[in-house]
Structure 1
């Protein structure tokens, strides 16, 4: 069985989240959470919260062993980009792109 959780419109670049995601794909949930706990990046805390949400979703179903869950897939997709302007020299302005991400976590009972 698959269980999922989605965090949408997170104010962090998807590229920064993807660096974290690669280290915990296809690992048991407990091992993945232990790895994320000691990572200093902001994205680690966001991904950890999303994984805990997916575990809570799995806990709602009866007959599911929470300790046997495995992280099947995590993806960080591009969300809408906020466009802002910043004053520059000689009366000009440059565009600042504030990117957002949609993070999807999929857990399963076994990695088959």
Structure 2
């Protein structure tokens, strides 16, 4: 018997990659993700390679994973891929404490983020 097949959450000409526990705030990660939204994959990878922000390395790894998923799992043409969606969300926040003067303590928050990148195959324009 078994379970029924899990339906795809994206279209047939799309592929997805996600990262769930990226260290850093979603606000900083979103600045990098916004730089690649809507770009062709080749141009987006170049943009990330020369981006000086810290999360750019993580975004590049997820984008490369989405491209590999498109090529190997869904038989899409890599040359026609475009970053159709790059969404960032909050994950958990580690809470730590730092000793302060007069026996007090200050809270330190260490946020984690999640990233979801969707690449879509577009038709070649003549």
TM-score range (shorter-chain normalised) is over 0.9
Equivalent position to 2:117, from 98, 105, 110 = 105
Equivalent position to 2:55, from 23, 43, 46 = 43
Gaps of 5+ in 1: none
Q: Does 1:81 align with 2:93?
A: yes
Report what 2:65 is aligned to: 53
How far off its partner does 1:45 sit? 0.6
1:48-91 deviations in Å (ceiling 9; x for gaps): 00000001111113642111000001011000000100001111
Report what 1:90 is aligned to: 102
**TM-score, length of structure 2 as denominator length:** 0.84
**TM-score, length of structure 1 as denominator length:** 0.94
Moved beyond 2 Å, runs of 4+: none
Larger gyration radius, structure 1 or structure 2:
2
Q: How many residues align?
A: 111
- Give the CA RMSD over aligned residues: 1.3
